[in-house]
Chain A
């Protein structure tokens, strides 16, 4: 799943210098991708598989949302978008769990155990008796003695009780005499009688014998013949029915190399024997087959490794050694040959023997061979070849050139971005000076996002190591996750996607900040005098300082949005800045209410500011609730959900800007009405501004909350609710815009 997803967008061949993954040293194209990559690839240890699955599902859903909103050039999502056109193709239905099952093994075992106990006891008895029957020297003993011995093992059924053979139903008479099974004592006729050859009997009892007669030496002689004292018994042998026939039968029946028994006992014994034989016997096919599987496993392990090497080498990279790869190739090929040979051997097993094996056996062999061929076809023929030494040198050169070129391009891009930015800065004041602030703002909003990208790109080349920051963010986020795991917040925090979203929000607020800041700058220019009132503003006044000033702020902010550590810094440095807006005349554009909210969200992922977060968490929901029509749905996680913006954020913001001009009369609540009515130009009162700041913050939170609900609703498929919420959201956003605009 997740692992299949990154390569497609990372484009492993394209390499940039600045965006190396700190863990696997993989080169990523941009900051976004690196972040994606990092979260996808290196957070598995934190997240368990179901979590990933969930996130995948969410991704798919988000992609859908995106499509419906008709925007987003984010490459990550685009790969999913093509699936959607309203509903879902059944082939794309989400993965589902295994259907219902029910096990009967327990009652099966219970019934079987009851049965088996009986069966096992019988079987054991039979073996013990057999052991006794074979424990004396039959050949040197006269028939009578043997008979006596045999009778002592099991009590024989009375002849008179059985007038007919129980197996075939034949009547017993002088001709058709009774015979006793030596193992169970039952009676049958001669036709139904079976014999156990002594060797078989020995074999069957070998296990028991050892167990029973440990101290004695050879099993055959353990019981000295006659030790059981049979001599005293012969007279009573057959009681009253002693007759000629029985005497003659005794004479006939001297079995010195076999033991007579009934069919049932014989059956059971044979089965037992079969089992014994199977236990030790491993057929050739199994031996060969095991070897075959071993080779296949090896190939499965080694082939991907080789392919990775070969790909890299063929691209001219220097990560692997050509010789080693060559060695691996031969090794893999050797395995293929082995597989081929083994499967051929399996195919021809027993073919030369006279009674040809059972057709099913042959079929089995054919199928094994067929599978092996399929395996080879699929895997071996996919093995690419390695470049020759000369070719490799060539490739290496090419690759180097490529690298150089790319580096060059990157630098160029960065410098261009730089240029663009400075141009933008130059342009901006002019626009503002032109008077109409509204259209100017729109252009800013639209024009800003790409250049924010450029800042990041530039950042990659600056001495400030971006990588460090990213990993910082990552580790902080993870720590926060670990710390927050106790509350319900954590489950959401745990979510891969939402991390990205958080980042999105950073970007968004970053963008807002910058645009607002620019706007502020304009106003600053308009009212340069007022700045002197600002005690905290460290930067010197005067027109010439503006550029530096902005540069600095921008720097601080770009860092702040990237690193929680920097963030704390930013928080510290912002309040003084934050006091400046009241002195300006554009409170609705006030970047600092935004700023206030942004750091809040940042802090959540920052372990160091957890306390603040808690404070706010306890404080805000109360306020929020007044505005929240869905408060019954609220739970502990709301805060987090609310804080976690959804990927629409970026787009929403653009949308916001787009919608900016349309205007919306919708008034959300008393608070907003208040702000709306506040004329910033009249307003020199610090207190009222700070109040307003809170209102806007709440509004923003509310927006976030609604987004969370939308997300939630989408996830559980309540589409009508989604619509309703989306409506709500749009209204809120418009209100927000309105509010920001009006004071102007």
Chain B
């Protein structure tokens, strides 16, 4: 159930299969991300893979002393490129791996192009997803919906990605989906279809409790991706943007050249692995300790290596020292940039109000706070918009809604029309009309009382009150209490026992806050293993784009509501 390991093992196997000698890895755009997320360059260099090439790159020289490992998605273009490649091979041997199911006719076309008999291997290795953490994968798909249905070109890719996860983890699951979402049902059906069609592939050893695939729709919880985050990974993604575990720091003022782009991978960065899920305050302390450690380890005489023993110590410590100095400067830069942004954009205050909007039920207080913050000139455009969006989602049906005046406020503030339009799109995307579950209001008396007491006691951390809806859903699922009426099974069979191996897939993108939730569930629930996936992993910015794209299609295609 470890997706990172699954991909890693695939890649190692490919390299292993090709035997000793210098190698080149031939990939396409997507497989490049897939591989680079799980393997660092130095790791893969040690396995004698010295060059990484794109199959569609024209600037490749013939190097007959290299073996080529091709890891490609089975797309038409790739197959065509590969045929051309085989007609005039540039390398001595070709080991071909497709990341998903490929048709017999394409195999035939390739075989016929291989007149020089350079192909030594043709296999399907189902690493067709980006494994960000052991329990988190993404398909890097943006703009998956048009209105409330699938963008036609995306659905097959999502199906492929999801089935490849199942194959890589060797799971043949039962499928549940979110009834309120048509897209969930469609995807569930498509996955089922593949499982039926490729039944030989999915013939795994049966476990006592079959694994479960739960397909959800982002529109059921539009609040989570709108919130500011305070745990390291989520925060980095929210403020700097994580792309395949890489951050682009080029916009950071005064950044040094080798830190323009840094990799944050828990696999190779101990500090990151330990702090991934800690909050900003804790990270501050830890980074201080890291610095102190570094200072200690840093050979005193880096400027002046006085005695021989100094030099010896330097040499002895050198590899660790070098590694550490890289880590230190990286994290110091990142954390420094984060705190700069936090103070520049008053994110503490913003976040407090956000959390209040998301978790409390006090309209007058909320509207006052939102108004007050909108007056703040330092408030960034995107933060202003997200506050209004949260308000709109939260008090959509409130009798005293001040949404119109807030929108006016935005206009006065000079927020662009594009953003202002998004507020409406957001309500259309994730408003009450669309939702299948109780996202916001605790309706029953007990919950309200609980809320009340919580308010009295004061919360431990005002910035981390919010629990994503996913937590509730999964909790119910694990306890076997998730309602069949809301999340029906596809097909006649239902799970009798509590599920153990769970794969959750979020159409429209998951978030790192949800990844943290899943991580915590994994750690606290004995016997349960959960993997979270999404068409992408969102931060607020990307989520707003997603919503805009979805709304863009609304006008063109007729939208069908699926309220029940």
Contacts and interface: CB of A to CB of B under 8 A. Distances in A.
A283 interface: yes
B240 interface: no
A320 B375 CA distance: 78
Interface string A351-381: 0000000111101100110110011011001
Interface in A370-422: 370-371, 374-375, 377-378, 381-382, 384-385
Contact of A286 (B6, B10, B65, B500): B65
A101 B125 contact: yes
With most chain A CB atoms within 10 A of its CB, the pick from B312, B316, B524, B527 is B527
A349 B119 CA distance: 29
A90 B104 contact: no
Nearest to B22: A289
B487 interface: no
Contacts of B521: 87
B134 A377 contact: no
A105 interface: yes
B523 A271 contact: no
Nearest to A365: B50
Interface string B1-38: 11001100110010000001010000000000000000
Interface in A494-512: none
Interface stretch (A108-116, A310-318, A552-560, A584-592): A108-116
Interface stretch (B165-173, B390-398, B458-466, B506-514): B165-173
B236 interface: no
B56 interface: no
B494 interface: no
Contacts of B527: 87, 717, 719
A547 B96 CA distance: 79
Interface string A12-53: 000000000000000000000000000000000000000000
Contact of A112 (B20, B60, B111, B124): B111
Given A104-B122, A278-B64, A99 B59 contact: no
A293 interface: yes
B525 interface: yes
Interface in B108-143: 108, 110-112, 114-117, 119, 121-127, 133-135
B45 A371 contact: yes
Contacts of A240: none
A99 B266 contact: no
Given A96-B6, A275-B116, A367 B133 contact: no
A91 B134 contact: yes
The A interface is mostly helix, strand or loop, or mixed, namely helix
Contact of A285 (B42, B65, B119, B208): B65
B117 A108 contact: no
Given A86-B524, A374-B46, A716-B208, A102 B59 contact: no
Interface string A716-727: 111100000000
B1 A93 contact: yes
Contacts of B524: 85-87
Given A93-B1, A104-B122, A359 B59 contact: yes
Contacts of A105: 121-123
Interface in A94-142: 95-105, 107-112, 115-116, 119
Nearest to B104: A107
Contact of A378 (B111, B114, B319, B500): B319
A718 to B, nearest CB: 7
A483 B220 CA distance: 62
Contacts of B502: none
Most B Cβ at <10 Å: residue of A108, A278, A719: A108
Nearest to B531: A90
B316 A93 contact: no
Given A85-B524, A90-B134, 11 more contacts: A96-B9, A100-B170, A100-B202, A103-B124, A108-B110, A115-B112, A271-B116, A283-B65, A286-B65, A377-B322, A718-B208
Interface of A: 85-91, 93, 95-105, 107-112, 115-116, 119, 271, 275, 278, 282-283, 285-286, 289, 293, 358-361, 363-364, 367-368, 370-371, 374-375, 377-378, 381-382, 384-385, 716-719
25 contacts: A86-B524, A87-B528, A89-B519, A90-B133, A90-B529, A99-B6, A99-B126, A99-B167, A99-B170, A102-B124, A103-B122, A104-B123, A108-B107, A112-B117, A116-B115, A283-B64, A286-B65, A360-B60, A360-B63, A361-B63, A370-B45, A371-B46, A378-B319, A385-B312, A717-B527
